[in-house]
Amino acid sequence: MAGNSKAASSKEANAKTGPEGSQNFKEGAEKVMDSYGQLTDFNKEIIEAMVSSANITSRGLEVLNNEAVVFSKQSMEEGVAVAKAAMSARSVQELIEIQTNFTKSIFDVYLGQVNRVADLVAGTTKEAVEPLNDRFNVLLGLVQSVRP
C-alpha cells in the first residue's frame, strides 16, 4: 500500500506541474535570458561611459598641459624683460622699483593662473564624471524596479 500512495502522489504532482509547470519553467527561462541580455547591454553601456569619461579626462589634461606651457613661456619672457630692465637701471632706487613692480605683477598673474587651472580642473572633473553618474543612476533605477 505504501508503494501505491507514492505512485498516487507522483501522479498528482505530475498532474499539477504538467502543462502549467512547463509553462512556468518556460516563462522563468525567458525572464532569465531577458535579464542576461539586459545585463550584457548594461555592461556595454558602462564600458562606453568609462571610455567617454577617459576621453574627456584626456582632453582636459591636454588643455591643462597647454596652459602650463603657455604660462611658463610667458613667465620666462617676462623674467627676461625684467632682467634687461634691471640691468639698465640707473640707480638702486630704480632697480628696487622695477623689482617691486615685477613682484606685484607676477603675483597677480600667478593667482589668475591658479584660478584658471582650478576652474579647468573642476570643469573637466564635472564633465568626466557625468557619463559614469548617468550609468549609476540607471543602475539605481534597475535595482529599485526589481526590489519587491
What's the average pLDDT block by block, 10 residues per block, for the chain (148 residues)?
54 58 76 77 90 96 96 94 91 92 93 95 95 90 77
Q: Is residue 18 part of a domain?
A: no
**Within a domain: 17:** no
* Contacts (Cβ under 8 Å, ≥6 apart) of 124: 56, 57, 59, 60, 61, 63, 64
- Tell me which long-range contacts 72-77 makes (C-beta under 8 A, separation of at least 24): 74/109, 75/106, 75/109
* Domain count along the chain: 1
Q: Domain of residue 123: give its range.
A: 25-146
**pLDDT for res 27:** 76
Residue 46 belongs to a domain: yes
| Alpha-carbon gap, residue 35 to 29, rounded angstroms | 10
Cβ-Cβ contacts under 8 Å for 20 (sequence gap 6 or more): none
What span, in angstroms and rounded, lies between the C-alpha atoms of 42 and 118?
A: 34
Query: Is position 40 within any domain?
Result: yes
Asked, for residue 20, whether it belongs to a domain, the answer is: no
Q: Which residue in this structure is represented by grid cell 572633473?
A: 125
Predicted model pTM: 0.66
